[in-house]
C-alpha cells in the first residue's frame, strides 16, 4: 500500500511540481503523519525534496515542466506580480525576462500606460500586446518550445542594444549564499545581459526557490536593487540584502501571515 501510495504521490508531483501534506492526506484518505512518512522516504531516495508543508520534485539539473511551474505557488506569484508592478511607474522602459513569476508581473502591468517593454518571453508579449498604451519589443532568437522563452546569442545581442529603467528577472533557485541559479545556460546569458543593461533590477521569486537547486549561476542577489517575494525565511539572505542595500519586499511576511 505504501509503495502504491508513494507512486501516486510521485505522479502528482510530476504533474504539479509540488505536493502538500494536507492536500495529499485528504486526497489519499490517510493521516498527515502517514503522508509525512511517505514524503520522507521519497526524499531519502532523492525523488523529492522537502519544503515547508510538503515537497517538490528533486532535480538539480532539469527544470520542472512549464505547466507544473505555473501551478506552483500560483497565488503567491500573483501577489508578487502585483507588488512588483507597483514599483514600476508609468512612462518607464523595462526588460521582462523568462519565468512564470515574471509573467505574473506582466499581468499586473496591463493597466499601466506609456511603457516600453522589451522581453524575450512570448507569453509576456502576448499578455501586453493588446494594451494600446504599452509598446512591446520582442527579442529575436531561438524560441524554446517548452515555455516560449527566447534564448541564444541573437537574443543576447538584441538585449545589449537597450538601456532601460527597470529589469524584472526571475530565478529557478536561490542558494543560501545569495547565488541566483537556473538550468539553461543560454537563458542565463540573456538574463545576465538584462541585468547589465538596466538601471534598476527587480528580482521576483517565491519562497519555494529557497528549497530548490539548479546548476548554472545567473548572478548574486547583491547585484539586484529590489527583491520581491512572498516571504524570506533565510536569515542569511536577509543579512546579504541589508549589507548590499537590496530592498526586500515581502507580500506575506512570516511574522504577520498577511500581505
Q: Where along the chain do its domains lie?
A: 2-58, 73-250
Report the distance separating Cα 224 and Cα 244, nearest Å: 9
Enumerate residues 6+ apart whose C-beta is below 8 A from 160.
193, 196, 197
C-alpha cell belonging to residue 143: 524560441
| Residues whose CB falls within 8 Å of the CB of residue 185, separated by 6 or more in sequence, listed in order | 216
Residue with cell string 521519497: 42
Whether this prediction's pTM lies above 0.95 is answered by no
Which pLDDT score, from 0 to 100, does residue 255 have?
58
CATH number 3.40.50.1360 given to 73-250: yes
How high is the pLDDT of residue 256? 46
3-state secondary structure of 71: helix
CATH of segment(s) 2-58: 1.10.10.10
Distance CA 251, CA 29 (A): 33
Backbone angles phi, psi at 249, to 5 degrees: -115, 120
**Pairing label, strands 18-20, 54-57:** antiparallel
User: What pLDDT does 1 receive?
Assistant: 63
Cα 158 from Cα 88, distance rounded (Å): 23
pLDDT along the chain (259 residues), means of 10: 82 80 94 94 82 76 59 85 98 96 97 97 96 96 89 95 98 94 92 97 92 89 97 94 97 61
In whole angstroms, give the CA distance from residue 155 to residue 153.
Answer: 5
Residue 247 has phi, psi (to 5 degrees) of -75, 120
Full strand arrangement of the beta sheet holding 198-204: 134-138, 115-119, 93-96, 164-169, 198-204, 226-229, 247-250
Q: What is the pLDDT of residue 7?
A: 85
Amino acid at each position: 500500500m505504501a509503495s502504491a501510495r508513494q507512486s501516486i504521490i510521485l505522479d502528482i508531483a510530476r504533474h504539479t511540481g509540488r505536493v502538500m501534506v494536507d492536500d495529499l492526506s485528504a486526497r489519499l484518505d490517510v493521516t498527515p503523519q502517514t503522508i509525512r512518512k511517505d514524503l520522507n522516504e521519497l526524499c531519502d531516495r532523492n525523488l523529492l525534496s522537502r519544503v515547508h508543508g510538503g515537497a517538490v520534485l528533486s532535480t538539480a539539473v532539469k527544470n520542472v515542466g512549464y505547466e507544473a511551474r505555473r501551478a506552483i505557488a500560483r497565488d503567491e506569484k500573483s501577489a508578487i506580480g502585483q507588488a512588483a508592478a507597483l514599483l514600476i511607474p508609468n512612462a518607464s522602459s523595462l526588460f521582462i525576462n523568462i519565468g512564470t513569476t515574471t509573467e505574473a508581473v506582466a499581468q499586473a502591468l496591463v493597466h499601466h500606460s506609456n511603457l516600453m517593454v522589451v522581453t524575450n518571453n512570448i507569453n509576456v508579449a502576448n499578455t501586453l500586446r493588446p494594451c494600446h498604451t504599452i509598446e512591446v519589443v520582442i527579442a529575436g532568437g531561438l524560441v524554446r518550445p517548452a515555455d516560449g522563452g527566447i534564448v541564444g546569442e541573437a537574443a543576447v545581442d538584441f538585449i545589449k542594444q537597450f538601456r532601460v529603467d527597470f529589469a524584472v528577472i526571475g530565478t529557478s533557485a536561490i542558494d543560501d549564499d545569495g547565488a541566483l541559479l537556473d538550468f539553461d545556460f543560454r537563458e542565463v546569458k540573456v538574463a545576465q545581459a538584462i541585468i547589465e543593461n538596466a538601471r534598476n533590477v527587480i528580482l521576483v521569486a517565491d519562497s519555494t526557490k529557497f528549497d530548490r537547486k539548479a546548476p548554472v549561476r545567473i548572478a548574486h542577489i547583491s547585484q539586484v536593487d529590489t527583491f520581491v517575494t512572498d516571504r524570506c525565511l533565510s536569515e542569511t539572505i536577509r543579512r546579504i540584502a541589508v549589507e548590499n542595500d537590496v530592498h526586500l519586499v515581502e507580500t506575506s511576511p512570516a511574522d504577520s501571515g498577511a500581505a
